[in-house]
Protein backbone atom coordinates (compact mmCIF):
# COMPACT_ATOMS: atom_id res chain seq x y z
CA UNK A 1 0.00 0.00 0.00
CA UNK A 2 1.40 3.36 -1.07
CA UNK A 3 0.85 6.30 1.37
CA UNK A 4 2.28 9.72 2.06
CA UNK A 5 5.74 10.39 0.83
CA UNK A 6 5.91 7.05 -0.97
CA UNK A 7 3.04 8.17 -3.19
CA UNK A 8 4.77 11.45 -4.09
CA UNK A 9 7.93 9.53 -4.95
CA UNK A 10 5.87 7.20 -7.13
CA UNK A 11 4.17 10.16 -8.82
CA UNK A 12 7.57 11.62 -9.58
CA UNK A 13 8.73 8.38 -11.10
CA UNK A 14 5.65 8.17 -13.25
CA UNK A 15 6.21 11.72 -14.51
CA UNK A 16 9.68 10.73 -15.61
CA UNK A 17 8.61 7.56 -17.34
CA UNK A 18 8.68 7.95 -21.09
CA UNK A 19 6.18 5.87 -23.01
CA UNK A 20 7.21 5.52 -26.64
CA UNK A 21 4.52 6.75 -29.02
CA UNK A 22 4.42 4.98 -32.33
CA UNK A 23 2.37 6.42 -35.17
CA UNK A 24 1.03 4.49 -38.12
CA UNK A 25 -0.66 1.09 -38.61
CA UNK A 26 0.24 -1.81 -36.34
CA UNK A 27 3.04 -4.01 -37.57
CA UNK A 28 1.70 -6.96 -39.47
CA UNK A 29 3.10 -10.09 -37.96
CA UNK A 30 2.25 -12.67 -40.57
CA UNK A 31 4.33 -15.43 -38.97
CA UNK A 32 1.26 -17.55 -38.31
CA UNK A 33 0.35 -17.38 -42.00
CA UNK A 34 3.72 -18.67 -43.15
CA UNK A 35 3.95 -22.24 -44.34
CA UNK A 36 7.06 -24.16 -45.39
CA UNK A 37 7.85 -23.82 -49.07
CA UNK A 38 8.57 -27.54 -49.38
CA UNK A 39 7.16 -30.50 -47.52
CA UNK A 40 8.46 -34.08 -47.44
CA UNK A 41 6.28 -36.80 -48.88
CA UNK A 42 6.46 -40.21 -50.45
CA UNK A 43 7.15 -40.89 -54.09
CA UNK A 44 3.98 -41.99 -55.94
CA UNK A 45 6.07 -44.66 -57.68
CA UNK A 46 7.86 -46.02 -54.63
CA UNK A 47 6.37 -45.81 -51.14
CA UNK A 48 9.76 -46.25 -49.52
CA UNK A 49 11.32 -43.23 -51.27
CA UNK A 50 11.00 -39.81 -49.69
CA UNK A 51 10.77 -36.79 -51.97
CA UNK A 52 9.90 -33.13 -51.59
CA UNK A 53 6.84 -31.30 -52.85
CA UNK A 54 6.34 -27.57 -53.11
CA UNK A 55 3.36 -26.45 -51.06
CA UNK A 56 1.00 -24.13 -52.89
CA UNK A 57 0.62 -20.88 -51.00
CA UNK A 58 -1.72 -19.21 -53.50
CA UNK A 59 -4.91 -20.94 -52.43
CA UNK A 60 -4.20 -20.36 -48.77
CA UNK A 61 -3.54 -16.66 -49.26
CA UNK A 62 -6.70 -16.30 -51.29
CA UNK A 63 -8.76 -18.07 -48.65
CA UNK A 64 -7.24 -15.94 -45.88
CA UNK A 65 -8.11 -12.78 -47.76
CA UNK A 66 -11.71 -14.00 -47.80
CA UNK A 67 -11.63 -14.69 -44.07
CA UNK A 68 -11.19 -18.44 -44.29
CA UNK A 69 -8.49 -19.80 -41.99
CA UNK A 70 -9.35 -23.49 -42.13
CA UNK A 71 -7.34 -24.29 -45.29
CA UNK A 72 -4.25 -22.92 -43.55
CA UNK A 73 -4.92 -24.86 -40.33
CA UNK A 74 -5.54 -28.05 -42.31
CA UNK A 75 -2.31 -27.64 -44.28
CA UNK A 76 -0.30 -26.94 -41.16
CA UNK A 77 -1.67 -29.78 -39.03
CA UNK A 78 -2.33 -32.49 -41.62
CA UNK A 79 0.28 -31.85 -44.31
CA UNK A 80 3.20 -30.31 -42.45
CA UNK A 81 2.27 -32.13 -39.24
CA UNK A 82 2.72 -29.18 -36.90
CA UNK A 83 0.31 -27.05 -34.89
CA UNK A 84 -0.50 -23.64 -36.41
CA UNK A 85 2.08 -21.05 -35.48
CA UNK A 86 -0.32 -18.76 -33.63
CA UNK A 87 0.32 -17.03 -30.31
CA UNK A 88 -0.12 -19.21 -27.22
CA UNK A 89 -0.36 -22.43 -29.20
CA UNK A 90 1.74 -23.95 -26.43
CA UNK A 91 -1.49 -24.14 -24.49
CA UNK A 92 -2.26 -27.20 -26.60
CA UNK A 93 1.22 -28.57 -27.15
CA UNK A 94 2.88 -28.46 -23.77
CA UNK A 95 3.57 -31.61 -21.80
CA UNK A 96 0.52 -33.52 -20.88
CA UNK A 97 -1.83 -32.13 -23.50
CA UNK A 98 0.09 -32.91 -26.67
CA UNK A 99 -1.98 -34.48 -29.40
CA UNK A 100 0.06 -36.24 -32.10
CA UNK A 101 -0.43 -34.91 -35.61
CA UNK A 102 -0.17 -37.00 -38.74
CA UNK A 103 1.79 -35.42 -41.59
CA UNK A 104 1.51 -36.01 -45.30
CA UNK A 105 4.86 -37.83 -45.27
CA UNK A 106 3.17 -40.73 -43.49
CA UNK A 107 0.71 -41.47 -46.29
CA UNK A 108 -0.34 -45.11 -46.40
CA UNK A 109 -1.96 -45.15 -49.85
CA UNK A 110 -1.57 -43.37 -53.16
CA UNK A 111 -3.84 -43.14 -56.20
CA UNK A 112 -3.25 -41.71 -59.65
CA UNK A 113 -5.66 -39.80 -61.88
CA UNK A 114 -8.66 -37.75 -60.77
CA UNK A 115 -11.02 -38.70 -63.63
CA UNK A 116 -11.87 -35.07 -64.25
CA UNK A 117 -10.26 -32.10 -65.99
CA UNK A 118 -7.97 -30.04 -63.80
CA UNK A 119 -6.49 -26.94 -65.36
CA UNK A 120 -4.60 -27.81 -68.51
CA UNK A 121 -4.80 -31.54 -67.80
CA UNK A 122 -7.98 -32.70 -69.52
CA UNK A 123 -8.01 -36.06 -67.79
CA UNK A 124 -6.42 -35.29 -64.41
CA UNK A 125 -3.91 -38.01 -65.13
CA UNK A 126 -0.88 -36.26 -63.67
CA UNK A 127 -2.52 -35.61 -60.31
CA UNK A 128 -1.96 -38.03 -57.45
CA UNK A 129 -3.93 -38.45 -54.25
CA UNK A 130 -2.11 -39.40 -51.06
CA UNK A 131 -4.15 -40.76 -48.17
CA UNK A 132 -3.58 -40.39 -44.44
CA UNK A 133 -5.83 -41.01 -41.46
CA UNK A 134 -5.11 -38.28 -38.92
CA UNK A 135 -6.79 -38.33 -35.52
CA UNK A 136 -6.43 -34.66 -34.68
CA UNK A 137 -6.60 -31.39 -36.50
CA UNK A 138 -6.80 -27.71 -35.60
CA UNK A 139 -9.63 -25.29 -36.17
CA UNK A 140 -10.25 -21.62 -35.52
CA UNK A 141 -11.37 -20.73 -32.01
CA UNK A 142 -13.05 -17.58 -30.71
CA UNK A 143 -10.83 -17.27 -27.70
CA UNK A 144 -8.79 -14.47 -26.18
CA UNK A 145 -6.10 -16.98 -25.20
CA UNK A 146 -5.45 -18.81 -28.46
CA UNK A 147 -7.18 -18.45 -31.84
CA UNK A 148 -6.71 -22.12 -32.70
CA UNK A 149 -7.82 -25.23 -30.88
CA UNK A 150 -7.46 -28.96 -31.56
CA UNK A 151 -10.41 -31.07 -32.54
CA UNK A 152 -10.74 -34.81 -32.87
CA UNK A 153 -11.34 -35.99 -36.41
CA UNK A 154 -14.20 -38.49 -36.69
CA UNK A 155 -13.02 -42.01 -37.40
CA UNK A 156 -15.09 -42.26 -40.60
CA UNK A 157 -12.87 -39.75 -42.40
CA UNK A 158 -9.53 -39.81 -44.18
CA UNK A 159 -7.41 -36.91 -45.35
CA UNK A 160 -6.49 -36.61 -49.01
CA UNK A 161 -3.55 -34.53 -50.25
CA UNK A 162 -3.46 -33.91 -53.99
CA UNK A 163 -0.16 -33.52 -55.78
CA UNK A 164 0.57 -32.51 -59.35
CA UNK A 165 3.86 -33.87 -60.53
CA UNK A 166 6.23 -31.66 -62.44
CA UNK A 167 6.05 -32.37 -66.14
CA UNK A 168 8.34 -33.53 -67.47
CA UNK A 169 9.69 -34.98 -64.24
CA UNK A 170 12.89 -33.10 -63.56
CA UNK A 171 16.12 -34.95 -62.89
CA UNK A 172 17.26 -34.95 -59.28
CA UNK A 173 17.16 -31.29 -58.34
CA UNK A 174 18.35 -30.66 -54.85
CA UNK A 175 16.69 -27.79 -53.10
CA UNK A 176 18.86 -25.47 -51.13
CA UNK A 177 16.72 -25.20 -48.03
CA UNK A 178 18.66 -26.69 -45.19
CA UNK A 179 15.92 -28.89 -43.92
CA UNK A 180 15.13 -30.63 -47.18
CA UNK A 181 18.43 -30.57 -48.95
CA UNK A 182 18.44 -34.30 -49.37
CA UNK A 183 15.01 -34.52 -51.00
CA UNK A 184 14.56 -34.12 -54.72
CA UNK A 185 11.52 -31.97 -55.41
CA UNK A 186 9.07 -33.74 -57.66
CA UNK A 187 5.92 -31.64 -57.84
CA UNK A 188 3.47 -29.45 -56.01
CA UNK A 189 0.77 -29.98 -53.41
CA UNK A 190 -2.22 -28.27 -55.00
CA UNK A 191 -5.17 -28.94 -52.69
CA UNK A 192 -6.34 -31.12 -49.81
CA UNK A 193 -9.32 -32.04 -47.69
CA UNK A 194 -11.17 -34.52 -45.50
CA UNK A 195 -13.36 -37.08 -47.22
CA UNK A 196 -15.49 -39.91 -45.95
CA UNK A 197 -13.85 -43.31 -45.81
CA UNK A 198 -14.82 -46.50 -47.57
CA UNK A 199 -17.20 -48.56 -45.42
CA UNK A 200 -15.31 -51.74 -46.31
CA UNK A 201 -11.79 -50.33 -45.96
CA UNK A 202 -11.77 -47.35 -43.57
CA UNK A 203 -8.22 -46.45 -44.55
CA UNK A 204 -9.28 -45.53 -48.09
CA UNK A 205 -11.65 -42.83 -49.43
CA UNK A 206 -15.21 -43.82 -50.23
CA UNK A 207 -15.72 -44.67 -53.87
CA UNK A 208 -11.99 -44.77 -54.56
CA UNK A 209 -12.63 -47.01 -57.55
CA UNK A 210 -14.77 -44.35 -59.19
CA UNK A 211 -12.77 -41.35 -58.02
CA UNK A 212 -9.32 -42.39 -59.19
CA UNK A 213 -7.92 -44.22 -62.18
CA UNK A 214 -5.37 -46.43 -60.52
CA UNK A 215 -4.02 -47.36 -57.13
CA UNK A 216 -0.25 -46.91 -57.01
CA UNK A 217 0.33 -48.43 -53.57
Partner 1 sequence: MYFEDSDSLEYVSEDGPCIFRRVDEMLTLMISIDDRRPIGIQLKGFKNFYIRRLRAKYSLDENHFLALTCALEEAMNSIGAEAFKENQLESYTLALNIAERDSVEVRDFPRLACGR
Provide the mask over 133-172, with x wherever binding to partner 1 is found by CB under 8 A and - wherever it is not. Answer: ----x-xx----------x-xx--x----x-x--------
* Nearest-5° Cα angle at 11, 5 to 13: 105
Q: Binders of partner 1 among 86-115, rule CB under 8 A? A: 115
- For residues 53 and 185, what is the distance between their CA atoms, to the nearest angstrom? 5
Helical segments of 76-131, H only? 90-93
**Nearest approach, Cβ of residue 170 and partner 1 (Å):** 19
Decide if residue 199 touches partner 1 (CB under 8 A). Answer: no
Stretch that binds partner 1, among 33-41, 55-63, 94-102, 177-185 (CB under 8 A): 55-63
Size of the site for partner 1 (CB under 8 A): 35
- Contact flag: residue 191 with partner 1 (CB under 8 A): yes
11 sits near partner 1 (criterion: CB under 8 A): no
3 state SS of 33:
helix
* Residue 116 interacting with partner 1 (CB under 8 A): yes
| Residue among 47 and 141 whose Cβ is closer to partner 1 | 141
- Which residue, 87 or 154, has its beta carbon nearer to partner 1? 154
Give rounded-to-5 percent helix, strand, coil for the chain. Answer: 20, 30, 50
Give the integer Cα–Cα distance in Å for 75 and 138: 10
- Residue 215: strand, helix, or coil: strand
Would you say 42 and 105 are in contact if contact means Cβ atoms under 8 Å apart? Answer: yes
* Cα distances (angstroms) measured from residue 69 to each of 28, 78, 90, 122, 160: 17, 14, 19, 30, 18
13 binds partner 1 (CB under 8 A): no
- List interacting residues with partner 1 (CB under 8 A): 56, 58-59, 62-63, 66-70, 74, 115-119, 122, 137, 139-140, 151, 153-154, 157, 162, 164, 188, 190-191, 193-196, 207, 211
Amino acid sequence: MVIGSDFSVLRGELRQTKVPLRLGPPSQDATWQTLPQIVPGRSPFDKATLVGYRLSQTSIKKALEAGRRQPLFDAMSMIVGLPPNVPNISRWTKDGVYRPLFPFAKSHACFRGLKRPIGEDDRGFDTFAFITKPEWGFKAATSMVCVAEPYQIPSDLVFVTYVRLDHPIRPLALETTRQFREFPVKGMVTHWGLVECDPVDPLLPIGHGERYRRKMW
